[in-house]
Structure 1
Amino acid sequence: MTLNVQFITMIAMVIGGLYLGIIQETFRRFSVHWKRRRVMAYFMEISFWLSQTMILYYLLFRVNNGELRFYVFVAVLLGFSVYQALVANIYKRLLEQIISIVLKCFRIIEKVINFLIITPVKFIIQVAVTCVMFVLHILLNIVRYVLKVVVAPILWIFRALFGILPENIQNKLYKIAEFYSTIENTCRKWVKKILFKRR
Structure 2
Amino acid sequence: MNLGTQWLTMGLMLSSGLILGVFLDFYRVLTIRFRLRGWIISLIDLLYWVVSAGLVFGLLFWSNWGEMRFYFFVAVGVGFLLYFRWFSRTVTKMIRLFLYGMERLLFFCFRILRLCLWVPLLSLWQLAIVVLRFALQVIRWLLMPFLWLARPLYRPVQRWLEPCFIKGRNLIQRGKRWWNKIRAKGG
Pair 1:128 & 2:128 matched: yes
Q: Partner letter of residue 54 of structure 1?
A: G
Pair 1:35 & 2:36 matched: yes
Superposed CA deviations along residues 135-164 of structure 1, whole A, max 9, x for unmatched, are 345445555653332224x489x7xxxxxx
* TM-score, with length taken from structure 1: 0.70
Q: Distance in 2 between matches of 1:174 and 1:80?
A: 88
Q: Partner letter of residue 115 of structure 1?
A: L
How far 1:53 sits from its partner (Å)? 1.3
5+ long unaligned stretches in structure 2:
170-187
Q: Distance in 1 between matches of 2:46 and 2:104?
A: 31
Distance 1:133 1:46, change over 3 A: farther
Q: Distance in 1 between matches of 2:89 and 2:136?
A: 67
How far 1:129 sits from its partner (Å)? 3.4
Q: Secondary structure at the match of 2:79?
A: helix
Partner of 2:163: 179
Aligned residue pairs, count: 167
Partner of 1:56: 56
Q: Distance in 2 between matches of 1:61 and 1:129?
A: 69
Q: Is the 8 A contact 1:9 1:72 kept in 2?
A: yes
Superposed CA deviations along residues 36-85 of structure 1, whole A, max 9, x for unmatched, are 2x222222221221122112221222211222221111010010011011
- Alignment RMSD: 3.1
Equivalent residues in 2 for 1:84-95 (5 A)? 84-95=84-95
Distance 1:22 1:145, change over 3 A: farther
> Percent identity of the aligned residues?
22
Superposed CA deviations along residues 142-190 of structure 1, whole A, max 9, x for unmatched, are 55653332224x489x7xxxxxxxxxxxxxx99757537859x9xxxxx
5+ long unaligned stretches in structure 1:
159-172, 186-199
Q: Distance in 2 between matches of 1:85 and 1:67?
A: 29
How far 1:118 sits from its partner (Å)? 1.8
Q: Distance in 2 between matches of 1:155 and 1:108?
A: 60
